[in-house]
Amino acid sequence: MTFNIGLLITALLAIASIFWSTLRTGSSPVPTPASVRQAMLSLMPGHLPELKEPVVFELGSGWGGMAFALARRFPEQPVIGIEISILPWLFSRLRLLVQPQPNLHFYRKDFMHADLTHAALVVCYLLPGPMEKLARKLLMEMAPGGLVLSNTFAIRGWRPLDQITAPDLYRSEVYLYEIGNHQPD
């Protein structure tokens, strides 16, 4: 009986933590389906922009699936997953213990407070509201030539460098932008 109550309390706390972070950020941690992840990877160039100390970021890294794929794709670059929701962040950290990826790091914080000045590539799967706020931050902090890869939601007013439709149930759109080459149509 005590075990069942403890399990129920743990489950309620986990749900509450995800709900809290969703209210705070406007986005919930939703896993990227494998077919969309593959479409995103196919849209990326073979190499990253030539920047000093280039870093790959996944903002709102959720359960870590895309961050692991990025770390495998760019083994020579640091890949940083940032997630504010404690349960997905813990899951990602535990997965990293079981499946070590030397260039991959997960941080639990609000990505709006992350320093993106060394970002060669930023990957995100955010709703339009958070995406609009992030767009301003990207323009202020990222160097020209830096890339932004967005799953499903376009950055309003930006012209994508490339775009693809994923072969998933929802026919998700994936957008690739380049800082300095994002002017509206």
Phi and psi for 75 in degrees, rounded to 5?
Answer: -65, -20
- Asked if pLDDT for residue 47 goes beyond 90, the answer is no
- Tens of pLDDT, residues 53-91: 899 999 999 999 999 999 999 999 999 999 999 999 999
How buried is 152 (Cβ within 10 angstroms: 0-12 exposed, 13-18 middle, 19+ buried)?
buried
* Residue 169 φ/ψ, nearest 5 degrees: -55, -35
pLDDT (tens digit per residue) in 106-153? 999 999 999 999 999 999 999 898 899 999 999 999 999 999 999 999
pTM, two decimal places: 0.84
The per-residue pLDDT of the chain, averaged, comes to 87
The two structure tokens encoding residue 73: 């794709």
Longest dimension (CA), the chain: 62
Question: What percentage of the chain has pLDDT greater than the value 90?
Answer: 68
Domains of the chain: 2-178 (3.40.50.150)
Cα dihedral 103→80→139→181 (10° resolution)? 50
